[in-house]
Structure 1
Amino acid sequence: MRSNDEKFKSILEYIDRLDHIDPGEIPGINLYMDQVLTFMNERLSGTQHKTEGPVITKTMINNYAKNHLFPAPVKKKYSRDHILMLILILYYKNVVSLSDIEEILTPLGDRYTGPNAEPDLPSIYREVFSLETDQRERLKQDIREKFDRAKETFPEAEAEDRERLQLFAFLSELAFDVYLKKEMIELVADELRNEHPDNKKHK
């Protein structure tokens, strides 16, 4: 069994391997559903820890469209804006509900997609992901501090129990951090929802 230090090292290595799709990588022509699935699953297969199945499926895309999370395809074809919206949905979907994602992303689809949008969605996407490099380093520093604090817990426990309990303390601190951030996102989504309680646009 690997030690906690070895487990932590693998976490840092995983963070360094994570990547995202740049808008320039997306084909410049509109794609049919099967082409979208091939591109997304090939490009994003290494960005998720669990890769037993495809990252995205036809059913998922149809469900996102049904829930108004991005504009409808044009003549069954998906543009670069569609693919960028799908990427953003994938980032959010493991954190908050589809209803909250709709509140957060619908304004992007309504206002910043299409040939005349200013700023356009690729520009917004690049701006948001320009924060990633610094965020990645801050994240690594934050989890180092959490890991070091966890290693100070349960000092009186036997060696095997101490290792197990310190790992539990570290994971619990990570979970609490995720919980708080999830609550923050949901709070803002609720505020967005309450700003337009009579909006029937997508009903």
Structure 2
Amino acid sequence: MEKQENEMKEFLANIVNVIRGMDYIKSEDVPNIDLYMDQVTTFMDEQLEGCKRHDVDKILTKTMINNYAKNNLLPSPDKKKYSKEHMLTLLFIYYFKNILSISDIQSILNPITERYFNGKDFNMEDVYDEIFKVEDIEAGKFFKDIAKKYKQAQETFTDFPEEDQKMLHTYSFICMLSFDVYVKKMVIERLIDTMGENADHPAESDAKEE
């Protein structure tokens, strides 16, 4: 039992280090000057290096960014220069693209950029700060949930051969995490579909005003 508890503590400590290494970028760390493409990709690579699975992985390439602008996912740069709001929008795209399709990201992000990109009262920096203020609070809950699932995984496959249990415990843990991701992804997709339905079918009050 003591060995199991020590393994859990060690595992969770490693997870904490990995998450902290993901380098959440604060809005004040984003340059407040317009940047050329090379400067954008360099900044993203340096700031989000902890998010890479492999050293050779690229965070955002020139091709990716050009495609985002071409497909109206990212507002076009001004004279080939990207503003701070471009950078913050690219950060949202980066986090979304690992779990959502480009069309789904468009459904989520386009209404935000249309309303707040270069906004007068509120802009993309205000949106970014508000979102990540909430995410910072959620981080503590995340670690508790991970610890709970890890402990549950260690209690599975007790009747299986002892020499297989470490592998099976890892498999069980992966399954629990995968199911959690699957359910959350499904909820996100349903929310996106609902947003599309609302856009296609104006509310009754809006229809009357027209």
TM-score > 0.5 by shorter chain: yes
Which structure has more helix as a fraction of its residues?
A: 2
Asked whether the equivalents of residues 22 and 49 of structure 2 are also in contact (C-alpha less than 8 Å), the reply is no
Say whether 1:156 aligns with 2:140: no
Whichever residue aligns with residue 171 of structure 2, its letter is F
Moved more, 43-52 or 61-70: 43-52
Q: Is the partner of 2:121 in helix, strand or coil?
A: coil
Task: Find the counterpart in structure 2 of residue 31 from structure 1.
Answer: 35
Alignment of 1:128-139 (within 5 A): 128-139=131-142
1:87-120 Cα deviation digits (max 9, x unpaired) = 0000000111000000000011111011x43211
Identity over aligned pairs, percent: 41
Whichever residue aligns with residue 52 of structure 1, its letter is V
Deviation at 1:10, TM superposition (A): 2.3
Aligned partners of 1:159, 1:7: CA distance in 2, in Å? 20
Asked whether the equivalents of residues 40 and 55 of structure 1 are also in contact (C-alpha less than 8 Å), the reply is yes
Task: Find the counterpart in structure 1 of residue 99 from structure 2.
Answer: 95
Asked whether the equivalents of residues 20 and 47 of structure 1 are also in contact (C-alpha less than 8 Å), the reply is no
Alignment of 1:1-203 (within 5 A): 5=8, 6-114=10-118, 116-197=119-200
Aligned partners of 1:47, 1:78: CA distance in 2, in Å? 22
Asked whether the equivalents of residues 27 and 80 of structure 1 are also in contact (C-alpha less than 8 Å), the reply is yes
**What's the Cα RMSD here?**
1.8
Structure 1 residues 8 and 159: alpha-carbon distance in aligned structure 2, compared to 1, 3 A threshold: farther
Aligned partners of 2:114, 2:167: CA distance in 1, in Å? 49
1:155-192 Cα deviation digits (max 9, x unpaired) = 11222211111111111000000001111111111112
Q: Is the partner of 1:31 in helix, strand or coil?
A: coil
Larger radius of gyration: 2
Asked whether the equivalents of residues 111 and 117 of structure 1 are also in contact (C-alpha less than 8 Å), the reply is no
What residue ranges of structure 2 are gaps of 5+ in the alignment? Answer: 1-5, 202-210
Aligned partners of 1:173, 1:57: CA distance in 2, in Å? 33
Q: Is the partner of 2:51 in helix, strand or coil?
A: coil
Structure 1 residues 109 and 194: alpha-carbon distance in aligned structure 2, compared to 1, 3 A threshold: same
1:28-67 Cα deviation digits (max 9, x unpaired) = 2111111111111111112333332221100000111122
Task: Find the counterpart in structure 2 of residue 201 from structure 1.
Answer: none
What residue ranges of structure 1 are gaps of 5+ in the alignment? Answer: 199-203
Q: Is the partner of 1:155 in helix, strand or coil?
A: coil
Whichever residue aligns with residue 120 of structure 1, its letter is N
Aligned partners of 1:30, 1:189: CA distance in 2, in Å? 32
